[in-house]
Amino acid sequence: MSGARSLIVLGVTTWAFIVCFAVWLMFGVIGIPIRRELGLNAFEFGLLTSTPILTGALLRLPLGMWTDRFGGRIVMFLLLLVCVPPVWAASYASQLWQFLLLGLALGAVGAAFAVGTPY
């Protein structure tokens, strides 16, 4: 791979990791206003913020295996593509169960590190 192409790949993958990390921990940042708006207690708030982390941890192994089998480029692309609808839907969620379902879906990007590191 040429030097210029290597820099482009490095830039794109770095940007993809930044986006994945921001989405993965999104409820940690916007969780405080959500907690106030929905009147969540400590347990519900903990569940809200930990759901994406748990999903990301559980999906690392299967996504890593898919990366070994199909290649990092396609798996990362599909992972980012699958997580676009939940990010969009997060702006319309208004109840705790909706945020928890979105947290399960958004947690998938937490497994991006298992995809991007070998790639």
DSSP 35-78: HHHHT--HHHHHHHHHHHHHHHHHHHHHHHHHHHHH-HHHHHHH
**Looking up tokens 């609808």, which residue turns up?**
85
Number of domains in the chain: 1
Query: Which structural domain, as residue segments, surrounds residue 92?
Result: 3-116
> pLDDT digit string (tens) for 83-93?
999 999 999 99
The reported pTM is 0.84
Domain with 63 in it: what CATH number? 1.20.1250.20
Cα separation, 102 vs 91, in Å, equals 10
> pLDDT digit string (tens) for 14-73?
888 898 888 888 888 899 999 999 999 999 999 999 999 999 999 999 999 999 999 988
Q: Are 59 and 110 in contact (CB under 8 A)?
A: yes
